[in-house]
A = this chain, B = another copy of it.
Amino acid sequence: MRLSRYFMPTLREAPADAQIVSHRLMLRAGLIRQEAAGIYAWLPLGLKVLKKIEQVVREEMNRAGAVEILMPTLQLADLWRESGRYDDYGEEMLRIKDRHERDLLYGPTAEEVVTDIFRSYVKSYKDLPMNLYNIQWKFRDERRPRFGVMRGREFLMKDAYSFDIDEAAARRSYNRMFLAYLNVYARLGLKAIPVKADPGPIGGDMSHEFMILAETGESEVFAHRDLVEMGAPGPDIDWFGDLEAEVSRRTSLYAASDEMHDAARFEAMPEGKRMTARGIEVGHIFYFGEKYSAPMGAKVTGPDGKDVNVQMGSYGVGVSRLAGAIIEASHDDAGIIWPASVAPFGAAVLNLRVGDAGCDEVCEQAYRALTDAGIDPLYDDRDDRPGAKFAATDLVGIPWQLIVGPKGVADGVVELKRRATGERQSLPLDAALKAIVNG
């Protein structure tokens, strides 16, 4: 993309009411624009990042056997009356009347809709296990939306829902999601820790939140150090085999956020294994059995010919929230440092003297070569001061900067800068291109 034909409105200053670093940087780098309290437009750079996060989530859901659907943003209130949640949900639910005075709502979540879809089509245990997910805009009318996309009102969520014949099968579905989530965070360049979460009235051990480590995190996290170092399972586990051991390796090690912290258990661990850090919650998975299937009559016929309520779980991750969380985890004083997997562009080409035949030619050559190699470069071809170009490129956090100035061109070299480390080197164009392509 040529910057002269793009729309990347970077700002020198963030609005004073942006309190946290991700919010400030997203505004300054021109990723988002506030349209109303907690409601944002995604500008070109922000949208590219959002779509990449969404795609990573999608691929890992698909790999783990979940099937994508898309539920509408508006839902019928009557469905929520069936589950009993319409009256319980409170003021966070945005309630709407259409022109015929019919009660609608903007979905804050979709258990009722997906349960209704399930019960309309699925009648037999033979169609299970089933896991349906969607990536759709949700709305929760927070009293005090803040922190940008970290706590917005209109937000993009991936919500998956599993349907199983019994609790043992539900655990297998849960395990797939547990491990898929770890793979998502790893691909996004995040260190994520699954911590026990409150299972609510259903009880049991199938409820986890995922906390990513970031110095600016909102919660305190306490964990066994081995858990942090264990890493994600990767794509090649046997997703439809027995994953219990793979999950237990992780859930058997202590990990909790402040709300669920058990200081005695934590301190019983060897001191060298105790880790405390700040964390941001970026996902929640839990099993809730028949909570919706019972009142809504979502039953299947079992192998014995008898109808049983399906056992359900739900698995949520805030896709738009992740854009902010990644920045919280990865930035410096100059701006954002995107992991390559979600960077809006793979490399920036900076022309320090637009109109100089040598600079223009080297830049065009670099731009073409990177485009052909699938790197999706951003070419800063604007007639602007080098200092402004450096600042903007650092701010928006593109992993590589290929800097082309008249002196280098005369010497047959360009400068290559790696955004994450600040490391710079002068080298011939071919070598610079090779370094970028090889990552």
Contact = CB atoms under 8 A, between A and B. Distances in A.
Interface stretch (A41-49, A208-216, A355-363, A416-424): A41-49
Given A67-B7, A121-B9, A72 B132 contact: no
A47 B72 contact: no
Interface stretch (A32-40, A191-199, A261-269, A365-373): A32-40
A306 interface: no
B99 A130 contact: no
Contact of A74 (B7, B30, B36, B71): B36
A141 interface: yes
Which size bracket describes the interface of A in this complex? 35 or more
A96 interface: yes
Contact of A94 (B50, B96, B154): B96
Given A33-B120, A67-B44, A98-B94, A154 B72 contact: yes
Given A67-B6, A94-B96, A96-B96, A72 B143 contact: no
Contact of A91 (B47, B99, B130, B137): B99
Given A67-B44, A96-B96, A39 B72 contact: yes
A73 interface: yes
What secondary structure prevails in chain A residues at the interface with B?
mixed
The number of times this chain is found in the oligomer is: 2
A71 B7 contact: no
15 contacts: A7-B132, A30-B121, A33-B117, A35-B72, A35-B116, A36-B75, A36-B102, A41-B72, A44-B67, A47-B68, A47-B69, A73-B137, A74-B154, A96-B96, A96-B106
Interface of A: 5-7, 9, 30, 33, 35-37, 39-44, 47, 50, 65, 67-76, 91-92, 94, 96, 98-99, 102, 104, 106, 113, 116-117, 120-122, 130, 132, 137, 139, 141, 143, 153-154
